[in-house]
Amino acid sequence: MIGSSALLTMAVAAVASLFMAWTIGAGSSGSTPFAPAVGANAISVMRAGFVVGIFGFAGAVFQGANVSATIGKNLIHGVVLSPMAIVVALVTAAALVAFGIYTGYPIATAFTVTGAVVGVGLAHGGEPAWEMYSKIVALWVAVPFVGGSLAYATARLLRHERIPEQTVVPLLAGIVGLTVANMKFVFLGPPGESASLAATVAAGVSQLPLASLPLMQVAVSLTVATGCRQVIAFDIDMDATAGQRHFLLALGALVAFSAGGSQVGLAVGPLLPLWDSVTFGRFWLLVGGGLGLLAGSWTGAPRMIKALAQEYSSLGPRRSIAALIPSFLIAQTAILLGIPVSFNEVIVSGIIGSGYAAGGTSVSQRKMAYTVAAWVGSLALALAVGYGAFTAVAAV
């Protein structure tokens, strides 16, 4: 039976987690997915905030387990965070992210939460998880180069005079469809596991004579990719401008879904050690985090959407598509690996890459310098504040 003091601490931790979810929804996951679409005038700021909240909630529920497990259990070895340590980590991270929202600069949520959890864990007597840190840092360092390069190459391809958009855009839609077919969802797998659409359909069809599971999975993936390509091709043939805008909005929805699947782990992941001791399904924990993201997207995201869409680069539909495709691919890779990733970093690198494909004249160098400083500083500051705050609390 749980005592009243333990219940009170758990309640405080839950409130801190919800506040963290709100700040994430109002910041990175709520603002970045549709910022390029808003910059291209494909959707209004307020409507973007509404739509991104819906898709972010769905992503949190159906894809949030992997990153949650990393944040909650794999950042520190040798110790299980106490309820008070969880509260200190969440409050520290949420306060820093909220400061970024207030000032208009995109504080990297993944950096902040990771730094706070590690700092509190070290102060709690835990040992560094160096293997996990190496994977996380490798991805964080690779994101600007990979995302920027892919966005640059995609934007150049879309601007190529010898290749018509009627060919390029449907081809890109096919690549996106191939990725969607292999995204893992909790509702497709057995209890406690996730599975992709391609794997699920292939498993059923492979029971037939002469059917091979790997070949059937490839066949399903290619079928979905071809279907997506054909839909966009038909749309563009009917109206090139409208088809391009529809594809851009679909990409924004997919990135918003991926943002929910990744970012919810930053809010509810620290709670996993606490809720493992009670009968409280992880699914409902993700639902609670998703609702927090939804509330943040609807109430606080428009400010950051406007900042990203108008201050970083003057985007057109082509460059917006070029920024969102690598963002979607990187986000799904991070979710598959269970590694927290900053959506500010992902989207901004895509915006910069697509901007340089057009000559780089519209990219604010001063804004980029401040943003990079905020990313690096948020990690160091969160780690130091988390360590110091828990040390002070434990000494009282």
- CA neighbor of 282 nearest in space, from 189, 192, 187: 192
Q: Is residue 57 part of a domain?
A: yes
Q: How far apart are CA 57 and CA 62, in angstroms?
A: 9
Q: Which amino acid is at 167?
A: T
* Percent helix, strand and coil across the chain, each to the nearest 5: 80, 0, 20
Let me know if residue 373 belongs to a domain. Answer: yes
Name the token pair of 157: 């391809």
Domain-embedded: residue 382? yes
Average pLDDT over residues 34-40: 72
Q: Residue written as tokens 């490839």?
A: 218
Which residue range forms the structural domain that includes residue 31? 4-182+224-395
Q: How many domains does the chain have?
A: 1
Torsion angles phi and psi, residue 248, rounded to 5: -65, -40
Separation of alpha carbons 334 and 338, rounded Å: 6
Q: Which two tokens stand for residue 18?
A: 């919800």
> Pick from 147, 194, 154: which is nearest to 32 by CA?
147
Asked if pLDDT for residue 37 goes beyond 90, the answer is no
Residue 24: which of 240, 364, 301 has the closest Cα? Answer: 301
Could you give the C-alpha distances from 125 to 121, 224, 333, 392, in angstroms and in order? 7, 49, 32, 14
In sequence order, the β-bridge partners of residue 196 are 184
pLDDT of residue 164: 83
Is residue 196 included in any domain, yes or no? no
Percent residues over pLDDT 90 in the chain: 28
Q: How many residues does the chain have?
A: 396
Q: pLDDT, tens digit, for every residue of 105-131? A: 657 788 889 999 999 999 998 999 999
Cα distance between residue 212 and residue 203, in whole Å: 9
Q: Could you tell me the pLDDT band of residue 313, with boundaries at 50, 70 and 90?
A: very low
pLDDT band at 30 (very low <50, low <70, confident <90, very high): low
Please name the residues in contact with 106: beta carbons below 8 A apart, sequence gap of 6 or more: 27, 28, 31, 32, 100, 304, 307, 308, 344, 348, 371, 374
Q: Which of 55, 370, 359, 65 is nearest to 194 (CA)?
A: 65
Residue partners of 95: CB distance under 8 A and separation at least 6 = none
* Helix (H) or strand (E) segment spanning residue 76: strand 76-77
Q: Is residue 339 part of a domain?
A: yes
Contact 188, 250 (CB under 8 A): no
What is the rounded CA–CA span in Å between residue 350 and residue 148? 5
Residue 201 lies inside a defined structural domain of this protein:
no
Does residue 192 belong to any structural domain of this protein? no
With beta carbons less than 8 A apart as the criterion, state whether 374 and 115 touch.
no
Q: Taking all residues of the chain, what is their mean pLDDT, rounded to a whole number? A: 83
pLDDT greater than 60 at residue 3: no
Give 354-376 pLDDT, tens digit per residue. Answer: 878 766 545 566 767 777 777 78
Q: Which residues of 358-388 are buried (b: 16+ CB within 10 A; e: fewer)?
A: beeeebeeebbeebeebbeebbebbbebbbe
Assess contact for 249 and 39: CB atoms under 8 A: no
Determine the number of helices (DSSP H) and then strands (DSSP E) in the chain: 18, 4
Q: Report yes or no on 73 lying in a domain.
A: yes
Q: Of 81 and 103, which is predicted with more confidence?
A: 81
Residue 280 pLDDT greater than 60, yes or no: no
The CB density around residue 168, as the number of other CB atoms within 10 Å, is: 18
- Residue that the structure tokens 């699914």 belong to: 283
Per-residue pLDDT tens over the stretch 156-179: 888 877 888 788 999 999 999 999
d(CA 153, CA 148): 9
